[in-house]
Chains A and B, each alone.
Chain A
Amino acid sequence: MTRRPHERPDAGLAARICLQRGALRVDLELAVLAGEVVALVGPNGAGKSTVLRALAGLLPLQQGRTMLGSMIMDDVDAGIREPSHRRPVGVVFQDYLLFPHLSVLDNVAFGPRATGASRHDAREKARQALRRVGAAELSTLRPGRISGGQAQRVALARALATDPQLLLLDEPLAALDARTRLMVRGELRRHLADFAGATLVITHDPVDAAVLADRLVVIESGSVVQTGTPTEVARRPRTEYVARLVGLNLMTGTGHGHRVDVAGGGVVHVAAHSEGEMYVAFRPAAVSLFTKRPEGSPRNLWQGRISGLEPHGEGVRVEIGALHLGASILAEVTQAAVADLGLRPGSTVWAGVKASDVEVYPR
């Protein structure tokens, strides 16, 4: 991973967070360097928001310790818990939570004003922050009068106006429609790149995560299941959830040279040498479908039954079950292929994957 020039390992976030929320037990370690953008990714109910609230001081830890630079924010053993208002942490909430009774300018000036700046200085600072995110012209409006994309920018300006060392963003793009989202995502990426502190973005959208973050931390049921750059995670998923998130077929098995005995009972041939407990993954687009057993066949060929078809981008996603693999796989084919081959739920097909298209990596 290339490190940005202004990344400072000594000034970032180092946290161990343990707490129980209903049936969910969160227990994880998290480190974000200053200047680094980390995306916390996971399914609903994985504990993403709990982590954010704990870091913002809105939820007490049951065990653990959080440090930001040299400041201890929480230390359960030492009985330390800094209240929210004394943490150098800025938060952009999911639905932004701009104060409806204040103008955009006063929303952004709220932080500086609350931390002791004079009214004049606070407004000046707010004007600068709004200018930086390109929202200066909104200053006099009430939050009820601005669009979702504009509210997102204002919320970011408000969080940054307090000069935080840690910026937390909770699903920053989830409240936006698809068109706005595309535009705001690019903008947000630029603003986050300019921010000198540590940034933690919570998202369940793989594209948001890949665009915004330098590194992903995937959590499921309150624990970290995988970390890495977006490319690493997308190429070598380690759980069913991540595989589905990035749209890959994933299986576990035991490697014996160029073959992997899959946990469900089948065999996958791979190009790379493998030994021991392995993951195998391949893209749905790498799967070819045939109605008859093909000649000059690829190394991997499985017979199965189509259990579902759904449009996906330009093409069609085909789910094939009842293979000799103990798992169903996804194939991605063109609309034309679906018509030519007469594919429909219940059809019997042969699915082929070249050994060189299968990624294999240790568990």
Chain B
Amino acid sequence: METRQRHRERVLLGKVPWLLAAPALLALLFLILPLLGLLIRAPWPDAWQVITDDQAVQALRLSLITATVSMLIAMVLGVPLAWLLARSGLPGLGVLRALITVPLVLPPVVGGVALFTILGRSGLLGRPLFELTGFAFPFTPYAVVLAQVFVALPYLVLSVEGALRTADSRYEEAAATLGARPMTVFSRVTLPLIGPGVAAGAVLAWARALGEFGATITFAGNFPGTTRTMPLEVYLALETDPGAALMLSVLLLAVSVLVLVLLRDRWVNRW
């Protein structure tokens, strides 16, 4: 049975038209070759020295902490927003959804500038905040988190909204007939049912936050230890020590892949 299936698959593969096969293969190479290049050209003998360098450790620590905090904030804010989009049936949701996708297509640098106009020291909200408390976001780790949430939130919202749309809403109706109030339905039925979707969205948001560069450097600046995240560190290193930049890139790649694999096993396929 199984061998027959295999045989059929191979026959089907043999019939893939080259007009599709050629660009597909090209795309695959295009995605994989640069990663291979990274691994091949990285100065492996210097690996330990580069990775344990104070600045690199600081940058990695800041990146991991801010990306995780950003992911959590994105989940707390994004899941309810996704629910609103998918379930509330309010008017004007189409416009709202379009607005949410804007940060997705916006160049991150522009996002950073936009954040400045609102939350900068002389921004619309930033100035009263500064006058009242003496606190301003720019050039602090909080600004790093804000920049990351700004770019990562849409990924989470769209991913969770998709999960909500494909989830069978009749389970929610069944819960309501059992006497569950809307909030109970959400926490005890909806959320567990879309768990894999939320996990996928969270991983996407985390990865997007970890890689954030443009909005961070514009809005949060580039101070070692407070706002210089790994991508910024890599970029700077590229000008002074290309070998170190390669090694740091490999490190960032390894961390992302590791987290992705761990989360997949833990969160997805729960039942």
Contact = CB atoms under 8 A, between A and B. Distances in A.
Contacts of B271: 100-101, 142, 144
Q: Which of A83, A87, A100 has the most CB of B within 10 A?
A: A100
A158 B184 CA distance: 17
A114 B188 contact: yes
Given A85-B181, A101-B193, A91 B175 contact: no
Interface string A128-165: 00000000000000101000000000000011001000
A162 B176 contact: no
Contacts of A12: none
Interface residue SS majority, chain B: helix
A24 interface: no
A90 B175 contact: no
B174 A114 contact: no
Contacts of A93: 170, 174
B176 A83 contact: yes
Nearest to A108: B178
A223 to B, nearest CB: 26
Contacts of B9: none
Q: How large is the interface on A (under 10, 10 to 19, 20 to 34, 35 or more residues)?
A: 20 to 34
Nearest to A88: B179
Contact of B175 (A57, A100, A110): A110
Given A110-B188, A142-B271, A115 B179 contact: yes
Nearest to A56: B177
A58 interface: yes
Contact of B178 (A58, A114, A142, A144): A114
A101 B170 CA distance: 15
B207 interface: no
Nearest to B184: A114
A100 to B, nearest CB: 6
Contact of A97 (B170, B179, B180): B170
Contacts of B173: 56, 58, 84, 97
Interface in B162-187: 168, 170-171, 173-182, 184
A66 to B, nearest CB: 15
B177 to A, nearest CB: 4
A162 B179 contact: yes
A102 B170 CA distance: 16
A99 B189 contact: yes
Nearest to B178: A111
A90 B181 contact: no
Contacts of A262: none
Interface residues of B, number: 21
B66 to A, nearest CB: 32
Given A84-B173, A97-B170, A158 B192 contact: no
Nearest to A87: B177
Nearest to A95: B170
Given A97-B171, A99-B189, A101-B271, A110 B178 contact: yes
Contact of B181 (A58, A111, A114, A159): A114
A89 interface: yes
B171 A114 contact: no
Given A97-B170, A100-B271, A114-B184, A89 B177 contact: yes
Contacts of B270: 101
Interface in B250-271: 270-271
Contacts of B174: 91, 93, 97, 99
Nearest to B174: A97
Contacts of A114: 175, 178-181, 184, 188
A156 to B, nearest CB: 13
Contact of A85 (B180, B188, B193): B180
A115 B178 CA distance: 8
B179 A85 contact: yes
A93 B178 CA distance: 12
A58 B176 contact: yes
Contacts of A100: 193, 271
Given A93-B174, A97-B174, 11 more contacts: A57-B176, A83-B176, A84-B176, A85-B176, A85-B177, A97-B171, A99-B193, A101-B193, A114-B180, A142-B271, A162-B179
Interface of A: 56-58, 83-87, 89-91, 93, 97, 99-102, 110-111, 114-115, 142, 144, 158-159, 162
6 contacts: A56-B173, A84-B173, A87-B177, A93-B174, A97-B171, A97-B173
What 5 A-B pairs come out closest when comparing CB atoms? A114-B180, A111-B178, A84-B176, A115-B179, A101-B192
